[in-house]
Amino acid sequence: MREDDQTQLWVVVACGATIAYSVVIALVRFFGSEGEPGSLRISVSLVAPFVVAALVALLAHSVGRGRFVMAAGAGIIPAAVISVVALPLWIPAIMLLVAGWRQTTPGSAKEMAASIVVTIGIFSAMIALLVNRDPLEWSEGSVDQYSNNTITASESLLSATILGLVIIIALAAARPRAVDDDPDG
């Protein structure tokens, strides 16, 4: 197997595993939430940073931007530390780091800065979900439920906005390079 084919396989497997495991986390969170208000929004919000990272890595790999594949993997690692359930995502994150390293070519200073912003953005989107831990109470018939581990709509919106910016940056970076592109920016 050629090194390019092996790198492509690593990226596809890592991204597929990240997305599949994220879906499992969301489903377990959704069906295990015992009627908590907004549980679908919360479930999707929790896994969105991981899914966006995987999509950024796939996009970046398809256009030969190894630096952004690495950025996606680097963003998953600190985001996965926030929950023990997400720790298995370190495996595909490390695979993305290695695959991106293999694919990285000298790039411009702008590309370097944009890839750092992508990494910070993925992690920040996860942090945005945990900024405010106001308790939540609701009733189901005669049973009162209580949770202090909820994600508010404003936290979800902030996280989604950050992820939207990450996607815009990744799409802008995915444009084909000009032939006479200056590697110094």
Confidence (pLDDT) at 183? 55
90 pLDDT band, cuts 50/70/90, is very high
Mean pLDDT of 137-141: 64
42 pLDDT band, cuts 50/70/90, is confident
Q: How many residues does the chain have?
A: 185
pLDDT in tens, 45-80: 889 999 999 999 998 888 888 888 888 999 888 878
43: three-class secondary structure by DSSP: helix
Distance CA 102, CA 161 (A): 31
| pLDDT above 80 for 144 | no
Percent of the chain with pLDDT over 90: 23
Query: Does the CA dihedral 40-41-43-48 come out positive or negative?
Result: positive
| pLDDT above 80 for 146 | no
| pLDDT above 80 for 179 | no
Burial label, 34 (beta-carbon count in 10 A; 0-12, 13-18, 19+): exposed
Q: Is the pTM of this model over 0.75?
A: yes
